[in-house]
Amino acid sequence: MSSTAQQLDHYHERGYVILRDVLDPAETDALRAALQPYLDLGVQGRNNFEGERTQRVYSLVGRGSVFERTAEHPAVLEIVDALLRPGYLLTASQAICIYPGETPQPVHYDDPFYTLPRPRPAVSVSTIWALDDFTSASGGTEVIDGSHAWNDDQIATTTMADSDVPVETLAAQLTPVEMRAGSLVLFAGTLLHRGGANRSSAPRRAFSHQYCEPWARQQENFTVSVPRERAKSMSPRLRQLLGYSIHPPFMGQIAGRHPEKALADDYVNSLVADDDAIAARRG
C-alpha cells in the first residue's frame, strides 16, 4: 500500500492522520522568522475560544511566500485531493501561538456551520502545522479519536456548556497529538478537538490551513482579505484555492465572468465599465 493510501486509511478510521517531518529545520526556521513580526504586533485573542493567552494571525496565506508554499504543499494536497471534490477551496489560514498559562480551548469541530445532520462526510479538512514541538504539556492539539463519526446527539452531550458529561470523562477521551516541529496533523472538519493547555514555559507556535468543498462558503473571504497585487503574484493553484475559481457551472462568477479576470493588469470592474458606457452614450 502506498503511504498516501495508509494515511487515508488512518484518516477514515480515526478522523485524523499525523504527517511527520514534512518540513526540514531550515524551512521551519524560515516560517518562524516570517511569523515573528506579526506576533510582535501583540494582538491577543478576544475570547476563550480564540484564547486569552493566545495570538492568532489571520489570512496567513497572504502574508508571505513561505506561507503560500505551505498552503499548497503537495504532501497535504495529495491527501485533500482524495477527500474533497475537485475545485476545493482554502477556507481558513491562520497562525495560532499558545502562550504558557493558556487554558484548554473548548472542545469543538471545525465545520459546524454547514448545518447538515451528522454523521456525515466532512465538508472541510483541517491541518495544524507545528512550528514548535507538540507535547501533552506544550499546548499541542488534542483530538477525540473516532469522533468524526459521531452523530448530533453524541456531539451535543460532549460540547454543550451545560453538558452533564463530567470533565474527567471528556479529558479521558482526548488524545494529545505529539509531533516534532515541521510535522502536521490533518483531520476531518467533523473531528472533535481543541488546542491544549500550555503548561510549559515556552510558546507553542503553529499554523492552520483548512480546505472546504468547492460549493461551501469559505470562513475567510480571501479574495477581499488578500491584497490583489499579492494574489496576482501567487501560483494559479493557490489563486484557485483562494477563490479566484469557478465551481461549475457558475458558482463564484463575477458579473457573469470568471473571477481570475479580476486579476488581469487591464481589468476594469464590469459594473464600472457598464456605467461608463451608459454615461458615454448619454453624452
Ligand X SMILES: O=C(O)CCC(=O)C(=O)O
Residues that bind ligand X (CB under 6 A): 96, 105, 110, 128, 141, 193, 195, 206
User: Based on CB atoms, which residue is closest to ligand X, 138 or 240?
Assistant: 138
DSSP letter, residue 61: G
User: Based on CB atoms, which residue is closest to ligand X, 130 or 231?
Assistant: 130
User: Based on CB atoms, which residue is closest to ligand X, 23 or 98?
Assistant: 98
Residue the block writes with cell 451545560: 162
Q: How far is the CB of 91 from ligand X (least distance, A)?
A: 12
- Of residues 138, 53, 43, the one with CA closest to residue 102: 53
User: Based on CB atoms, which residue is closest to ligand X, 46 or 258?
Assistant: 46
Q: How far is the CB of 28 from ligand X (least distance, A)?
A: 17
User: Based on CB atoms, which residue is closest to ligand X, 51 or 259?
Assistant: 51
Cα 112 to Cα 118: distance, rounded to the nearest angstrom: 10
Cα 277 to Cα 98: distance, rounded to the nearest angstrom: 54
Cα 109 to Cα 155: distance, rounded to the nearest angstrom: 9
Q: How far is the CB of 206 from ligand X (least distance, A)?
A: 6
Q: In b/e form, how buried is each residue of 213-243, taking b as 16+ CB within 10 angstroms? A: bbebebbbebbeebeeeebeebeeebbbbbb
Q: How far is the CB of 45 from ligand X (least distance, A)?
A: 9
- Of residues 238, 283, 277, 279, the one with CA closest to residue 260: 238
Cα 37 to Cα 42: distance, rounded to the nearest angstrom: 9
Q: How far is the CB of 113 from ligand X (least distance, A)?
A: 12
Going by C-beta distance under 8 Å and a sequence separation of 6 or more, which residues neighbour residue 260?
A: 239, 244, 245
Return the ∠ at Cα 215 (arms to 71 and 119), rounded to 5°.
90
Q: How far is the CB of 137 from ligand X (least distance, A)?
A: 13
Q: How far is the CB of 225 from ligand X (least distance, A)?
A: 18
User: Based on CB atoms, which residue is closest to ligand X, 141 or 147?
Assistant: 141
User: Based on CB atoms, which residue is closest to ligand X, 124 or 223?
Assistant: 124
Q: Which three cell numbers stand for residue 11?
A: 484518516
Q: How far is the CB of 280 from ligand X (least distance, A)?
A: 51
Which residue is nearest to ligand X, using beta carbons?
195
Helices 3-14 and 74-83 pack at an angle, to 10 degrees, of: 60
Cα 282 to Cα 71: distance, rounded to the nearest angstrom: 49
**Maximum CA extent, the chain:** 76
User: Based on CB atoms, which residue is closest to ligand X, 15 or 259?
Assistant: 15
